[in-house]
A and B are shown apart, each in its own frame.
Chain A
Amino acid sequence: MNLAIRDIRHSLPRFLLTAVGIGMLLMIVMGMSGIYRGLIEDALLLVDKIGADLWIVQHNTRGPFAEISRIPLKMEDRLRAVPGVRSARAFVSHTIQRERIGKPLRIVVQGLSWPEDKGEWIPMTDGRCLGAAHFEMIADKSLGFRPGEKIPLGKDIYTVVGLTRGMVGQGGDGIAFFTVRDAVAIQFDNSGEAVRLERDARRSRAVRQDIGNTHPELLNRAALPDIPALAGPMASAVIVQTGQGADIDKVAETISGWKDVSVHTAGNQRNFLLDGSVDKARRQIGLFRALLVIISAIIMSLILYTLTLDKIHDIAMLKLIGARNSVILGLIIQQAIILGGLGYILAFYSGKWIFPHFPRRVIVTGNDLVWLAVIVLAISVLSSLLGIWKAMSVQPNEVL
């Protein structure tokens, strides 16, 4: 006869309510684990999906995921000439904030190196890749754009030609993919007034500098839109894919000989992200998750202890009529495991329903679920120890 099941059946509403409470608690543990995983996945998403073997960044910097990196777009051409390099694409990424339907909308503007990169590697859910050098964009679904929608950004209007899903930046904001030129245009968009003021300022700067005196014609041209056009457009980095059979280390060694850039592998970039920008956040969430596991164990202990206290007279009676310790242990441990198991199932299904509504991605992997199941089992058994101790210490004469 299974005493645990019969006891549960007897006080089913109370047990279910307790299981719901445990389930909600475990859902939070599961959610924290998912937020932790989501934070890491979001941070690594671009590095992993973009498929770069090497990241070429501003000299002595760790690249765009760690700090500001500025590198001339022309670097693409130099890199393409390196033996072993199959492709070199500029990487431009920055976040903008606009207003949409009265609410702030943050967009990670990601440049694709047109025409080599039209976004074929992006997992599309609707529409197509970029088909023109300008004024087209692929947007993540989380941004709320519809295919064919016209989005004004800066002085230009961009058409949403494709939709993707799950493409978010480090901060969890949806990514929109443009050509590099468009991405740069969006980044450096200035108002007409700002442009006019800048032109005036150029003249006064030129007067104060030697170049203005040695080249007086420059003062006359200062007000023109394309003067001085000395600096070329910049990117955050250039990403390199090596050819089949090429030795990545050898290619990296060649490029690292250049004094104006630094070279990092994709692995380095992952490490910079995990040990750098998301490090504190993930450690904080990780510690919070550990705390939640401990708190869950304590709460489960108290619940199981209370459940045991409620039955202490019955346990004494069972001892009096000669029940073995294994019968009493079975009663407590089985209830603990059923409570933990039921809580786990409730946590899983309620999480499955609630987590997609979270503003940032909550990623609960199969591996995490298995680990949590093991932890719940361990918590269930460990937390029943207090109840077991109480049950073992009760004397049969307490029935009298």
Chain B
Amino acid sequence: MSANTPERAVEASNISKIYGSGNTEVKAMVNVSFTISKGEVVGLLGPSGSGKSTLLTAIGLINPPTSGQIRIGKDLVTDGPSAMADVRKFRRKHIGYVFQKANLIPFLTALENVQIALEINDVHHKEARKRAIALFEYLGIEERKDNLPHQLSGGQQQRVAVARSLANKPGLILADEPTAALDSFRGRQVMELFQKVAHEQGAGVLVVTHDHRSLDVFDRTFEMEDGTLKLKI
């Protein structure tokens, strides 16, 4: 890779996902290939059932593809159905996740929800707290750090989820409809947050969304239909 070529966050090569076999065979995803560079925000649009989430879970090492290769950073993480040995370790070091619901752990405070992601990655308790506070300040939610998730608004919860996804400085952030449960104002704020972290922290961000109002925050947009990546805007 030359000095001018942006560093790869993720590269998918001909990945397919087929459920069942024979008469019950369902092709959820067929020969999908794309690359996302670090610092790039990519949108993935498409109707329900088009295979967006299948693609996201395949790249996120949650649900491996039936065939094809996935490289995250410099590592070949999936080659067909076989994934690398310690997927969980790779996930905690290199991938951040944000979902439609914030999925914060209800018995931890907002700060602890971020701190736990760091401690799981062997960051010492004090250092983890320091870094979590810094992230809260960066995302502008430091005044809510001691609140439990149920004491936060949907937008604030989603910001905490973004903070958690950023905690270990991953090269790739995957977001599955992160604004679906938010009003347009808060949805916009979250989308801009992705743009900010991608550009300032150099992470590649793939956002699955139905929300056409925030397309301007994406550097590129893919559209999926019937399991195929059909259109690139």
CA distance A198 to B97 in the complex (A): 101
* Shortest distance from the beta carbon of A308 to any chain B beta carbon, whole Å: 14
Which of B71-79, B106-114, B152-160 touches A? B106-114
Query: In the complex where A6-B108, A314-B105, A397-B57 touch, is A1 in contact with B125 (Cβ < 8 A)?
Result: yes
Q: Which residues of the other chain, B, contact A6 by a CB distance below 8 angstroms?
A: 107-108, 112
Docked complex: A1-20 residues within 8 A CB-CB of B: 1, 3, 6-7, 9-11
CA distance A282 to B128 in the complex (A): 58
* Shortest distance from the beta carbon of B80 to any chain A beta carbon, whole Å: 19
Identify A400's interface contact among B57, B90, B107, CB under 8 A.
B57
Residue tally, chain B, CB below 8 Å to A: 29
Query: In the complex where A322-B88, A322-B92, A400-B176 touch, is A7 in contact with B97 (Cβ < 8 A)?
Result: no
* Shortest distance from the beta carbon of A334 to any chain B beta carbon, whole Å: 13
CA distance A396 to B148 in the complex (A): 23
Q: Which residues of the other chain, B, contact A322 by a CB distance below 8 angstroms?
A: 88-93, 117, 120-121
State whether the Cβ of A313 lies closer than 8 Å to any Cβ in chain B.
Answer: yes
- Chain A binding surface SS class: helix
CB of B105 within 8 A of CB of A327, answer: no
State whether the Cβ of A208 lies closer than 8 Å to any Cβ in chain B.
Answer: no
* Shortest distance from the beta carbon of A48 to any chain B beta carbon, whole Å: 54
Q: Which residues of the other chain, A, contact B121 by a CB distance below 8 angstroms?
A: 322
What 0/1 pattern do residues 322 to 341 of A give for CB contact below 8 A with B?
11100100000000000000
Q: Which residues of the other chain, A, contact B89 by a CB distance below 8 angstroms?
A: 322
CA distance A318 to B92 in the complex (A): 10
B-side residues, CB < 8 A to A, are: 53, 57, 62-63, 88-93, 97, 99, 103, 105-108, 112, 115-117, 119-121, 125, 128, 148, 164, 176
A-side residues, CB < 8 A to B, are: 1, 3, 6-7, 9-11, 313-314, 317-324, 327, 395-397, 399-400
Can you name 19 A-B residue pairings with CB atoms under 8 Å?
Answer: A3-B107, A6-B107, A6-B112, A10-B148, A314-B105, A314-B107, A318-B120, A320-B62, A321-B92, A321-B117, A322-B120, A323-B92, A323-B116, A327-B120, A397-B62, A397-B63, A399-B99, A399-B103, A400-B99
